[in-house]
Every structure is written in C-alpha cells, then in structure tokens.
Chain A
C-alpha cells in the first residue's frame, strides 16, 4: 500500500474534497509486480495467453476443481502465478511476497 500511496500522491485529484465515495471496477486478473517505489515491469493482462500451456501441464482438472472448491477461484494460465513466469527474471524474486498464498500453494 505504501508503494501505491507513493505512486498516487503526485496525482491526487483536485476535487478530492468534494468526492464522498469512489467505486472501483477493473480488469479481470491482471498481474502488476510492485517494487519499493514503482511497478517492476509492465502489467500482464488477463488477455495474455502465454502461460496457458505451461499451467495446463501443472494443474490438472482434479487439482483445479480442488482449488476452486477451497478458494472459490479458478486456477489456469490466466491466473496470477502462471503469469509470473513472464515477469522479468530478476523482478519476480523481489515481489514474491505480494501474491496470494493460495496462488503459490497450488503450484508447489
């Protein structure tokens, strides 16, 4: 959150004092790896299909259904952990702690 605060501070809205509430919606799972002060690499969009094959080899239907039953999330190549494969090799180590535990556990 500190990283986000630092990134957004210079961009504070000029009408912040008039805004009572903000509703946010966004893209389907899209991966952004944050460093100390800024994103470490471009965002990988949910439309990125490079991890589909890679994830299919590691997450069979049984594991996928099991994880879905436990977490409520479908696990496939468009999920965050498989996408991580395509982040800069030196970057993902620095941001490993920012992922959901369940995502990491399913690929152990």
Chain B
C-alpha cells in the first residue's frame, strides 16, 4: 500500500493499494478512519486547488516561467565564470556547483559535499530567498511565484555570485597528498590537504573472476580503469570545494 500527503498544509492525503485490499475498505469490511478523514475544510481546499490547477494554460505558464529561470540562472553562472549547472525538470531544480554536467547520481555524489551549496544557501537567505543548503534538496517554483519573484531571485543570485571566486582566479590551493589503496575488491583514492583535512575522495569496485574452484583472478585493466575514474572523481570533488575558498 502507498500513501502520500498532498494538501500543501491542509490535511489531505491519498492512500492506494491492490484492488483486493482496497476493496475491503470500500466494502466496509475493514474500517479506515482518521481525525481529518473527509474533513470538510480539507476537502473544500482540495476542490478549490483542483479548480485552480485545471485552468487552461496553467502548467504551460509555470513551465515557461521555469525555463526563463533556468536560462537566466545559467547566464549568471556563465557571466561570473562560475563552474555550475542548473539541472531540473519544470518547477523542480537544483543549481549544481560542478566542473562538469551532472548526468547521474555518481556525478552528483562527487560534488555534493562541496561547501558551495551551504554558502550559496546562506547567502541567498540574506537576500530573503530560500535556497536549501543541501545538494540533494531540490528547489521548487510554485504557482504562487510570480515573474516578479523570479526577477527578485535572479537579482539576489547575481549579487551572491560575486562572493564566489572563479576557478581560474582562485588562489592556488595548498599542495595535496594522495592516498591510493588498491584493495582486494576496490580501489580507493583520498586527497588530503596540508592541514590534514580530507578534501576529496572516491572509490570504484572491480570484479574477481572465478571460473574454477579456488580460482581468484582479476583484470589489471580493471584496476587501472577504476583508478583513473577515482582519480577524476576525487579531483572534481576537490575542484568544486576550491570554488568557495577564495
């Protein structure tokens, strides 16, 4: 069975499941009750919301507003020479501080620990704009946001972008030490700065071949391929962290 709160503040939720189970509720065989079940105010709010959302062109206008928001945010990043990407679909988005486009979870995971998200979120809050400081918490544009709200957010983002130092202008980071462990089942890479802090890390697993009893062989090409990937991922995570150091 699945359940989801839908009311955006009002006590409205959906509950669903297999027909044989849900039919027990429908037939009254199993009693289902809740404090706000069939609550008049909540149902009225849901109906009003559905009336509003079903207006022609409602979603098209929202998506168009979001497209302008994406494009303008990208232009701001580009204008300030900041390595970042606006990733999203319709009203759900995130600004990723990364040197390369974010295409999957692995791309996101290597940059999620950068302090840029926290610095960016706090700086936007000083302009009364709520950008979540966590990398995996998305930003949302709602029907309540107007074009004026978008413009105000873009102005704030432009002001905040000044605080970040472009990679090419950032002071040279301290020398690093790399720790590389070619283990039994994975290669792990860790970058440590002069202060002893871990500033980047990555790992990649490889297979052990066993075609006969007691055999345990590995492809050396796999070792090098995983090491190359880890080296790149660790480097990218360090590079993203440098963005906020200037």
Contact = CB atoms under 8 A, between A and B. Distances in A.
Interface residues of B, number: 30
B59 to A, nearest CB: 44
Contacts of A22: 177-180
B240 interface: no
Interface in B218-246: 218-220, 223-224, 227-228, 231-232, 235, 238
A21 B228 contact: no
Nearest to A25: B181
A42 B177 contact: no
B183 A20 contact: no
B89 interface: no
Contacts of A26: 181-183
A42 B209 contact: yes
A47 B208 contact: yes
A39 B180 CA distance: 21
B184 A42 contact: no
B168 to A, nearest CB: 15
Nearest to A41: B217
A45 B228 contact: no
Contacts of A20: 175-177
A23 B196 CA distance: 14
A24 interface: yes
Contacts, number: 86
B35 to A, nearest CB: 58
Nearest to B178: A22
B215 interface: yes
Given A7-B224, A14-B235, A45 B178 contact: no
A18 B173 contact: yes
A43 B173 contact: no
A11 to B, nearest CB: 5
Contacts of B177: 19-23
A36 interface: no
Interface residues of A, number: 31
A42 B222 CA distance: 10
B219 A43 contact: yes
Interface in B150-184: 173, 175-184
A56 to B, nearest CB: 13
Most buried by A among B177, B180, B212, B216: B216
Contacts of B179: 22-23, 25
A27 B183 CA distance: 5
Given A13-B235, A15-B235, A43 B217 contact: yes
A24 B180 contact: yes
Given A20-B177, A50-B212, 10 more contacts: A18-B173, A18-B176, A21-B177, A22-B179, A25-B179, A30-B218, A42-B218, A46-B184, A48-B217, A49-B214
23 contacts: A7-B224, A14-B232, A18-B175, A18-B176, A19-B175, A22-B180, A23-B177, A23-B178, A25-B179, A26-B183, A27-B182, A28-B184, A42-B219, A42-B220, A45-B217, A46-B184, A47-B208, A48-B215, A48-B217, A50-B212, A50-B213, A50-B214, A86-B215
Interface of A: 7-8, 11, 13-15, 18-28, 30, 32, 39, 42-50, 52, 86
Interface of B: 173, 175-184, 208-209, 212-220, 223-224, 227-228, 231-232, 235, 238
